[in-house]
Structure 1
């Protein structure tokens, strides 16, 4: 990705916008090419919290590598309408048709529904309006009580802070788990993965501890999870003995360094498979010498 275009709607929730925007801004500070742009149908947008934002009515030229995000807005019970004009909805559709990714946060899913992008796709939104969204767009499969869902370059997330999880997921997808972990740690948040539950992503599921040595080893594994990582090298990274590292790592994370690396490989492979890769190519891409180990890991209960 390069450009991240946020489509602002009157009454939008500040955190729906600010959370995701902060992720991409922080990623840009770490050298990743994200350039946020804020467009709207009016140059001034008043948020639900009373802050007035300035936007441009002129859309930038988009490429398939760019991302368009529709943050959510305040809705009355039983409604979701963001009052976007058809011209704006057509831009969402055209970008997706051209190969681009379109995302929504909270009630922003209604805009994707009006644009026809939810038809035949899995999606989600804030729990208060899940039933309304499902009723308005019966061709969509609304998944309840998940943080975000990816389906065919359409990414939808639940309300408010889950926009952060969505943005971190996109950073991890394009730049690897270490990049997303670095951004998340800077923002002092956790990242989670999509699916039919609220399960946390492996890359940050085991980060709620205070061991600097273990965090350094996790950083190393997340950066080089495709490579062979001997315990001696990881112990050298931590500055402690192999035996001490094993003990501290298991105490802090409940896992061994090897199992942690396998979790990262498995999650990345699952993402590749969900986007059309074969098991064999996914296994090779994440560092397995063949697909047998990946098949064994996929068959285990999580």
Structure 2
């Protein structure tokens, strides 16, 4: 039987720990046999989980003979990781064990050196922090999970379940994975990636910089038909100077910023109104519904219709 070891670290996020335990423990093969043996392992018998303390039945030795090791996230991903934990993960990796992280558990894998030269993801909120702390890791903040074969990483919260279902399908096929998804009352595959969840937030505005008033003006006038020359004229700069300063201070271009502001406004309208997509395209400043659909999917990761199905009424 395939053994899954879930590593419980101090300050573990309880849902990150419970979700893989539940997903794997109740997966069954045709005929009703259990597909997995699940162990919760920890460096110490008692683990601080914030609102409560949990007792782990297995120590770090439980990672040595596991077929899969799952590393849930902790509340502070920058917190130091015990040497014995890192050593146990490296030993498991050297033995060929499959290792996967949930949410910011990616930081633990990176600290152990298991993600060097690999593509990885984590919760969108911590993606920038991960990329800065571990420049040898290629961080993709837009996807729900990344499968590198032996090493896998997932984004935050529900994306961990997406990853678990993906691993179940790898192990036992689509039929077993579909039944596991049905038991969890989720689709086997979700449309889109993290981008559909982070797109509703405004871009990070560099406070106290010369561009701050211009960025506010762009948000207020996003529905207007603005070209680069219009934006540069409002800023009192040449187009070339504006492009250089904008990229230095925001990491993007004025028009890309404008497109994101328009998509953000469109997301709000898709969530809170029943306006047709064509009307929303015009309301937020896109010249045609086709251009709107293309840009929306590029930024949000899903079509406007799919976004509306997922989020309509969420904030009502």
* Residue segments in structure 2 that go unaligned for 5+ positions in a row: 197-316
Which one of 40, 43, 46 corresponds to residue 41 of structure 1?
Answer: 43
Contact 2:143–2:195 (CA under 8 A) maintained in structure 1: yes
Indicate yes or no: 2:69 matched with 1:68. Answer: yes
Partner residue in 2 for 1:31: 33
With normalisation by structure 1, the TM-score equals 0.59
1:193 Cα deviation after fit = 7.1
1:213-232 to structure 2, matched below 5 A, reads none
1:72 Cα deviation after fit = 0.6
1:106-125 to structure 2, matched below 5 A, reads 106-125=103-122
* Alpha-carbon separation, structure 2, partners of 1:192 and 1:180: 10
With normalisation by structure 2, the TM-score equals 0.57
1:245-264 to structure 2, matched below 5 A, reads none
Contact 1:72–1:107 (CA under 8 A) maintained in structure 2: yes
* Alpha-carbon separation, structure 2, partners of 1:109 and 1:61: 17
Contact 1:147–1:198 (CA under 8 A) maintained in structure 2: no
Which protein has the larger Cα radius of gyration, Structure 1 or Structure 2?
Answer: 2
* Residue segments in structure 1 that go unaligned for 5+ positions in a row: 200-302
Partner residue in 2 for 1:183: 180
1:1-302 to structure 2, matched below 5 A, reads 2-28=2-28, 30-48=32-50, 50-55=51-56, 56-60=58-62, 62-63=64-65, 66-75=67-76, 80-192=77-189
Q: Deviations over 1:18-51 (max 9, x none)?
A: 1111110111484243111111122111213x02
SS at match of 2:61: coil
Contact 1:148–1:193 (CA under 8 A) maintained in structure 2: no
Over the aligned positions, Cα root-mean-square deviation in angstroms equals: 2.3
1:61 Cα deviation after fit = 6.5
Contact 1:147–1:192 (CA under 8 A) maintained in structure 2: no
1:84 Cα deviation after fit = 2.2
1:145 Cα deviation after fit = 2.0
SS at match of 1:3: strand
* Count of aligned pairs: 193
Contact 1:15–1:161 (CA under 8 A) maintained in structure 2: no
Q: Deviations over 1:6-29 (max 9, x none)?
A: 111122111111111111011148
1:152 Cα deviation after fit = 3.5
Contact 1:148–1:195 (CA under 8 A) maintained in structure 2: no
* Alpha-carbon separation, structure 1, partners of 2:9 and 2:152: 18
Q: Structure 2 vs 1, CA of residues 101 and 170 (structure 1 numbering), >3 Å: closer, same or farther? A: same
Q: Structure 2 vs 1, CA of residues 12 and 194 (structure 1 numbering), >3 Å: closer, same or farther? A: farther
* Alpha-carbon separation, structure 1, partners of 2:190 and 2:147: 10
